[in-house]
Copies of this chain bind each other. A is one copy, B any other.
Amino acid sequence: MSSVFRASTRLRSAARLPAARALSTTAGMRAAEKPYFPDEPTAPSVSGTIPGPKNQAAAAELDEVFDVRSLNMLTDYNQSVGNYIADLDGNKLLDVYAQIASIPVGYNNPHLKKVAASPEMASALINRPALGNFPSSEWGHILKTGALRAAPKGLDQVFTAMAGSDANETAYKAAFMYYRQLQRGGPEVEFTEEELLSTMKNQSPGSPQLSILSFKSAFHGRLFGSLSTTRSKAIHKLDIPAFDWPQAPFPQLKYPLEDHVQENAAEEQRCLAEVERLIKEFHNPVAAVIVEPIQSEGGDNHASPAFFQGLRDITKRTKVLFIVDEVQTGVGATGKFWAHDHWNLTSPPDMVTFSKKAQTAGYYFGNPALRPNKPYRQFNTWMGDPARALVYRGIIEEVERLGLVENTRITGDYLYGGLARLAEKYPQHFQNLRGKNQGTFIAWDTPKRDQFVAKAKSFGVNIGGSGPSAIRLRPMLVFQKHHADILLEKIEQIVQVL
């Protein structure tokens, strides 16, 4: 109970990797009370309408060269601090969207400033290596003291990538190569002439018609392989060719959970049965199942630990790989470093992908057979970015130093309690409140979602939605009780004017 990395360091040899520094729960408690950013604004400040005149003028100028139709605000990062984001007109908003859930330790974090100013960073920026060929002599050390220090338990290897999409796609590639290796009878079995020739024509057996199973409403990225597993919204997928891969239903739980225990358990069993049926019957054989611990873009859809243990059991039994996509849930947001730590799995996932709050990306794995049987099968020029790997290490250090996973757990419980009270008071605005005991990874449905999100800015809050009708909270890990108090107050003010 003494370390923020307890779950992830339990299986790791102390001789091989530095042990996570022990932090007492008191440190976490204290951290939850004392402000991490003493120079943060004490409250949001908004003057005039948003977007203001400077923002509008700058957006028109940017539009000459860069599509701005998805623009939220032109941001003044020099004036942004901690949990507060500043726009070009001087407005300062409490940010509980955090760059689509990807800023972990606050704007202009002082520790990351030091990381950015380090000689190592300068070298990583200006002498960018092809990591598979010419890693710096420090690369192993950076991984061991960074990404791997926080690795999910049981997974002590990493393949580094650039962002969530290619993290997932390289994991899929590893899965396909592994699947075919099992079929062939082992890593020593050579490729046939037919395979070598057919793959150059994109044809089977060299380019086999295998598949990845994902879930309805899932989001796993937007490149061609990852998009074929994304099932969130039509606008993400339209007009783009896709692989003929299967989708299983994701449990649609009823809230409050305690009032629908048996019904929800039955729903999860129904979905698991369908997963097993698809693995056994789908015409393009399934090499791996990928799932998000909480479907994020798809609407903050949760399932129970029993459901995920069920997935682990089915994938073990059917010999397909189990990939957990922690791109949005990872790095502390759910009150554990990895969301799948909540599940107490009997054996770890085969691969866990990460990005966003890690500020770099890749997949963790443990089974050495997931390294392809020959070099250059899983390879590209850069294979990630050591500059961003250094940032991830700095984030891990900051998470550890400040006890930010515990802070997020404590603040999340506090925030959830406040939202539950608002839901009682304004039931029409708070439906299916979810994310209890999941840190600050909290959401609810509301019929006036888009108005809520738009209106929030004038109240000084930057907030996002997910799925068709959810408000999703994605504050940073430095979000504390006093921020929660402000957020709750603002949310109440917003629903009162809707």
Contacts and interface: CB of A to CB of B under 8 A. Distances in A.
A230 to B, nearest CB: 10
A366 to B, nearest CB: 11
A217 B166 CA distance: 23
A140 to B, nearest CB: 4
Contact of A66 (B140, B206, B235, B375): B140
Contact of A223 (B144, B159, B223): B223
Contact of A382 (B115, B143, B163, B208): B163
B163 A223 contact: no
B112 A125 contact: yes
A65 B381 contact: no
A240 interface: yes
A282 to B, nearest CB: 12
Contact of A196 (B58, B234, B244): B234
A364 to B, nearest CB: 10
A416 B373 CA distance: 39
B65 A144 contact: yes
Contact of A243 (B108, B199, B241): B241
B130 A379 contact: no
**A interface bracket (residues with beta carbon within 8 Å of B):** 35 or more
A371 B65 CA distance: 11
Contact of A242 (B16, B134, B137, B199): B199
Interface of A: 16, 58, 61-62, 64-67, 69-78, 80, 85, 88, 99-100, 102-103, 107-109, 112-113, 115-117, 121-123, 125-130, 132-137, 139-140, 143-144, 148, 156-159, 162-166, 169, 172-173, 176-177, 179-181, 191, 195-197, 199-203, 206-211, 221-226, 228, 231, 234-245, 247, 284, 355-356, 359, 371, 374-382, 385, 387-388, 391
Given A77-B129, A163-B381, A180-B238, 10 more contacts: A65-B158, A66-B143, A70-B376, A75-B137, A121-B125, A172-B224, A176-B241, A197-B234, A203-B244, A235-B376
